[in-house]
Amino acid sequence: MLTLKAHAKVNLGLSVRGRRRDGFHEIDTLIARVALHDTLTLTPVAEGVRLEVAGADLGIPPEQNLATRAAELYLTEAGEARGVEIELTKRIPAAAGLGGGSSDAGAVLRGLAQLYPADVNLLKLAETLGSDVPFFAADMPAARATGRGEVLMPAEVPKLHLVLVNPGVGVSAGNAYRQLRETTPPLELEMLVEQLERGEEPDYFNALEAGVVGLEPAVGEVLTALRQTGLTGVLMSGSGSTCFGLARSQPEARLIAATLTEAYPEWWVRATGTL
């Protein structure tokens, strides 16, 4: 038996450079894992893959879950006849721009590589499961991701204190990219990291944000509410719908999260921090 944490992520800036020949978009983003996480327990069994989910109704059958698909893919690639039972406790909301499903899949790949070691290229497997999965399979605290998200360069991000807010609407990545208003220049990564280190207002953007706000006005309401608290660097994460802001300290993040929870009880609100 093996228990793993599958951490959420935030995108500290997201540039969309244009459409690729394979239909995906070329992106440039700084991804950082945060303390918020799902928990997975992997138990070897004689055969097959079984998944039990607690903490959320994901609205899909277990066989369609990315964690199940990751397990099946690894076992097939490894030539492993034995199977695994996966107990997944969800804390990261689905279709929220926080990489929950991708992180679960990455954790399953890493866990099975420990339970059933084999000559398997985890990052290549991860690429077939989704654009964010390689980042989580690589188990990096932070990275610059280019290509469609699978080309990773380790990055150093200072300790950040964040308030995450989701208005209770899900946005698929496909819908977010269909609403793209314009392509954007690459990130100024060195400048961005220096701004974050100095606690300044970061000069970043999310190319998908305007289109998602048009699609789901509640996301715009969240962005406005976060800015009104005095948080800096307010931005939508990934393809949405979760947004975040940067606090000066953990106590401030917790206080603002509590204030927003009281003012907007229908929203999902969490204080967290980068790893």
* Rounded CA separation 24/21 (Å): 7
Q: How confident is the model at residue 58 (pLDDT cuts 50, 70, 90)?
A: confident
Tell me whether residue 132 is one of the annotated catalytic residues: yes
Give the mean pLDDT of 245-269.
98
Tell me whether residue 9 is one of the annotated catalytic residues: yes
* Rounded CA separation 136/149 (Å): 11
The residue with greater pLDDT, 59 or 27, is: 27
**Per-residue pLDDT tens over the stretch 138-150:** 999 999 999 999 9
Other CB atoms within a 10 A radius of the CB of residue 41 amount to: 15
In the prediction, which pLDDT does 18 show? 83
pTM of the model: 0.96
Decide if 36 contacts 166 (C-beta within 8 A): no
Q: Which helix (H) or strand (E) holds 252?
A: helix 250-263
Residue 161, beta-bridge partner list: 247, 273
In the prediction, which pLDDT does 46 show? 98
List, in order of start, the domains of the chain with CATH numbers.
2-153 (3.30.230.10), 157-273 (3.30.70.890)
Q: How confident is the model at residue 24 (pLDDT cuts 50, 70, 90)?
A: confident
Catalytic residue among 28, 38, 104, 132: 132
In the prediction, which pLDDT does 57 show? 84
Give the mean pLDDT of 149-175.
95
Percent of residues, the chain, with pLDDT higher than 90: 93
122 φ, ψ (degrees, to nearest 5): -60, -40
Catalytic residue among 5, 9, 139, 203: 9
